[in-house]
A and B are shown apart, each in its own frame.
Chain A
């Protein structure tokens, strides 16, 4: 067992344990930092697997994503500081069973499959190859991803903007009535949504 293996097992342990702690910690901000730790560990494993660009870019992207996630946590969620114990779950047993089953099934599939043995040559210029591939043969795929991201930007601005179709979203944004001063059109939610304090 060489140094590489040791490092790999350490990073895997960090990735899995912090991934599990995400759902076991009391504070949601701490949860997003733990998820970031899991991503950083996976990113380093990917660097060890001879894909330096993908690995480092994962760390880069996830640092930004988890930062945004932590911001939203503090903005919307209760108990960001983790001062109270928190366990907000539903269908808990079923979820545990599903998670374990997924892991067991995938592991069985991995163990009973014989994969072709064709490792990447350490001297391959993988980053260069990726660049040529992105802007050469697979340019259409890459550009599709770009257009998808643009659509995402437009969609998220529309979804999250305050002014709705019938006025400001936080002032109800109710559709006008079918007759003057009548009940607003459409179905009403029961007792105005569900504002739970935990």
Chain B
């Protein structure tokens, strides 16, 4: 379990997440892609913290911030999905060709 292998796993998760976020039509699946990218980011941050920072606590703090970002992403994302669904009964990105109404 070297730093390089951990970071490559993180890179793979980010790659898959990017594919998902770009390719999925459904809002929730799109958010899953974003979450997967953040997952990879979290792993990379902790991998770097554990192997290059000698245990300085700021690295863990950054991981906590990433987790807060995940929570914000989920909450606002679902609120937006709810708002769009209320308005248009739509759940795919293609139905949002106009941002008004």
Contact = CB atoms under 8 A, between A and B. Distances in A.
Interface of A: 4-5, 8, 12, 15-16, 19-20, 22-23, 28, 31-32, 35, 38-39, 42, 45-46, 48-51, 53-55, 57-58, 61, 65, 68-69, 72-73, 76-78, 88-92, 94-96, 98-100, 102-103, 106-107, 110-111, 115-121, 124, 126, 129-130, 132-134, 138, 141-142, 145, 148-149, 152-153, 155-160, 162, 169-170, 173-174, 186-190, 192-196
A107 B58 contact: no
A46 B14 contact: no
Interface string B1-19: 1011111111111111111
A193 B5 CA distance: 46
B88 A51 contact: no
B101 to A, nearest CB: 5
B12 A103 contact: yes
Interface string B52-69: 111101101101110110
A169 B86 contact: yes
Interface centre among B31, B60, B83 (most CB of A within 10 A): B60
A68 to B, nearest CB: 7
Contacts of A91: 22-23
A99 B18 contact: yes
Nearest to A195: B89
A45 B54 CA distance: 18
A135 B21 CA distance: 35
Contacts of B18: 95, 98-99, 102
A88 B57 CA distance: 42
B36 A19 contact: yes
B49 to A, nearest CB: 7
A-B residue pairs, 8 tightest by C-beta: A193-B88, A99-B19, A103-B15, A194-B95, A95-B23, A156-B79, A106-B11, A133-B57
A59 B98 CA distance: 38
A111 B3 CA distance: 10
Contact of B65 (A61, A118, A133, A145): A145
A77 B14 CA distance: 25
A133 B65 CA distance: 13
Given A49-B46, A107-B8, A194-B88, A19 B57 contact: no
Contact of A110 (B8, B22, B50): B8
12 contacts: A8-B1, A19-B16, A23-B20, A54-B63, A54-B67, A120-B54, A130-B60, A157-B79, A159-B79, A173-B87, A174-B101, A195-B88
A106 B17 CA distance: 14
Contacts of A73: 28
Contact of A77 (B22, B57, B91): B91
